[in-house]
Structure 1
Amino acid sequence: MAKLAQNFAKYMIYARMQSKGVVERPDVIGAIFGQTEGLLGNELDLRDLQQTGRVGRIEVNVKTNKGKSFAEIIIPSSLDASETSLIAASLETIDKVGPCDAEVEVTKVDDVRNQKRRYVMDRAKEILHAMMDSTGMPDSQRMADMIKEAVRTWEVGNYNGLACGPEIEANEEIIVVEGRADVINLLKNGIRNVIAIEGSKIPQPVIDLTRKKTTTAFLDGDRGGDLDLKKLMDIADIDFVARADAGKEVEELTKKEIYKALREKIPANQVGEKRQQPAPVAQEEAAPEELDENSSKFLTRLLEDLVGTRAAYLVDQDQQIMTKMPLSELSEMINDFAGVYAIAIDGKISQPLVDLAKKRGVGIVAGMGFKERVDAGHVKVFVMEQQESA
């Protein structure tokens, strides 16, 4: 980068002169002082401004070519913007340099402070580059994790000494988890109405909250989660129960796993029934193996396509998709379609869904698994879990 202008200067005036004859540097400087004298009054006289240090040394570079002279003029100024503009404009009134006619044109006026800012930015980049070369820089994933961790730690609140999300008091629904790490993981994934019990004993503030708000217990998929659930069910007012997959803890779940577990929460009053009903028996009784291989592959493709969409497909007898709709609107929108042969959903099959299929004369219901023991009757039930285990 070129050397910065004189320290006092705030602006640099750049002008170009062309004469119709040969002139020298003293001729140009003499014309500048002589032909602008008195033009702007005594306060903006160039000689006085230079003597007081408000205008710097005028630089003139003259070149001659084919009997004509050309000059580059540079004038540093510490005046304000409007006064500097007047000085610059006065240069264009010069019409004679030495014995020759001439023209002067101001090409630009630079703010030296911008030049200094650019220098600072460029130099900062060089310094940072040197730091990266010498000390190494964390990769993008590590930097992202550091930022997320800082935000998560900042968002963790305190409710009577318990780790919680910022919306634990404002929200009408709350999620109870086991520890602070569970709270942090849910906050990271956008769930802010969460509170931890943080210990083997259920704290009284949590018990009080469960009596005032709709409460979901979201617990680890291990024996510790079973014990915490039993204690919560005994002394707190739990409305729903969600569990991490077997062997997993809430703090290590991905975003998809968290929302899947919360979507599949069950009413607390069904928890005991679910424990007493082995899932494999329910599946064997509910899903007779009456589908041929072609139908099974077709339904598997549909279910794979639906994963994560919370939607449902209606299919006709020829295995043509009739429509795709939100799962929440299935019970109403199915009435608008005739000849539905199969229903495929992104969710677990429940008895109400099977009853709807019976009522509408649907032959097959396909889902990700079973929510409960179902009485399928004449309806064929197909689940992805069975296909994967086959």
Structure 2
Amino acid sequence: MDFGTTKYIIYAELVADGYVEKNDIIGAIFGQTEGLLGGDLDLRDLQKSGRIGRIDVEVTNNSNGKSYAKITLPSSLDRIETAIIAATLETIDRVGPCSAKVEVKDIRDIRLEKRKYITNRAKELLETLMDSMTDIHDISEEIREHIRTREIVEYGEEKLPAGPNIDSSDSIIVVEGRADVLNLLRCGIKNVIAVGGISIPKTIVELSKKKITTIFIDGDRGGELILKESLQRCDIDYIARAPKGKEVEELSKKEVLKYLRLRVPVEQYLQQVNRCNDLSRSVVETSKEEEITSTDFNSKEECPKEDSNNKETLTYEVLKSENYELKLEYIRSSIENIKGTNKIKLISPNFEKVLSMEELSEDLLTDVYFIITDTPITQQLIDRFFNNVNSNLVIIGRETHITKKPPNLKILKYEDVM
């Protein structure tokens, strides 16, 4: 059935007490409704004007002395007029010589099906459009990469990857490899040159003596090694560093500019190294291996790593130090030590103890600064041991489940300090 401009479809069923055919039923529909609703809703006039579509009748069974039929009537009237037409069909009580009964089963808004089709088709078209946009993006990126690659020059006798402005600029930025050069070119920085390995080339050594030199290293062990050798062989003026665990080639434009702005003068860096060396020697008096690990290089209070074969282990005596980062590193190390043990570590400037939850008691909490627990911090635990705390005690736990805490008590989760 071609519904054209149809808005609604009326579905009805007819039962006649005798044998009737399709034409008999259509005749009864027009004949028994004629004049019933006046000229405005006369079925013949509505069909002539196209506001009622072709009435379809399907006789489904003629047996046992009865006839059954399904009636479909399309309507482009509004919903009120359509409902009136549907109700009118139920006034038909005879078909030919036979008594009959009509019951409307449903009025369906065909526009809902059209909207559903439109929605589904629009999704398909949008997916096609998005695929096309992705292709355009790939092409654009390929073009940009080509332009950046063309800007790279081979500089010096070692043919180092570099930007085009090395000679014309009064400053240079030294990075590790070709990918780092490409990334800085993408950010519009063209006075960049790569060492091409861990060993510092002679060309960069000579350039550092003539130009203001910033070394921009990765936040990993390789970056530390390059920095160490460059400080020994080159005339470095500033040091910039990617965040721990990230490489310069991975940074966004915003990050590249940020960490270059946060570069530190080499004199300040060396002062930090010396200060941390002094602190580390005062931490313990033994010759145990030291594990002082630096945090974000760009933090003003950070201690850069020192490459030493005689390292010492941080202990609770660190708490007596004035260095915040050193204390924080000790707390992080303590968290790592008890992870997976379901135990509790008590830390004061004079001792540290690792206990099970059953061994914890109030008398052990005197002079304790930090408590690190590998068990959840619950309200029951707080109520039992820490309601009468008089100091600024800090409890650090794997997770917290509390509703009320004493005012002098600080409660943190692992992720707050890691």
State whether TM-score is above 0.5.
Answer: no
TM-score where L is the length of structure 1: 0.45
TM-score where L is the length of structure 2: 0.42
Q: Which has the higher contact order (CA 8 A, sep 6+)?
A: 1
